[in-house]
Amino acid sequence: MQTATPAEVHTVDGAHILDVREPDEVAQARIEGAQHIPLGSLVERLAEVPRDRTVYVLCHVGGRSAQATQYLESEGFDAVNVTGGIVGWYRAGLPVTLGDGD
């Protein structure tokens, strides 16, 4: 399984980030522009994930995204697990939107 740090992903121009956390987690903190499909919905929503580019998969700290990355790879996607998840992203000082934006 391919992995990348949040800092590495942040340097990729136009990186497609797939956030597999639950909706309540995304409401607390999110990366603007990331696609959100909860891990439990990934199988039925697979057609929404782009096949023509690398997909960087993110969750809270990296466990669920590792599962999603393995599944996506088995389905022929170029998928990369973001180590440390959104916690690592935040700790690296990278942009995170906190709260639901209301």
Q: Average pLDDT, stretch 72-80?
A: 98
Cβ neighbours around 95 below 10 Å, total:
10
Catalytic residue, chosen from 59, 68, 79, 86, is 59
pLDDT confidence of residue 78: 98
Over residues 66-91, the mean pLDDT reads 98
Catalytic site includes residue 20: no
Task: Give the model's confidence band at 102: pLDDT under 50 very low, under 70 low, under 90 confident, else very high.
Answer: very low
pLDDT digits (tens, 9 = 90+) for 11-63: 999 999 999 999 999 999 999 999 999 999 999 999 999 999 999 999 999 99
Which of the four CATH numbers 2.60.40.420, 3.40.250.10, 3.40.50.150, 3.30.1360.170 does domain 2-98 have? 3.40.250.10
Whose CA is closest to 68, among 91, 87, 45?
A: 45
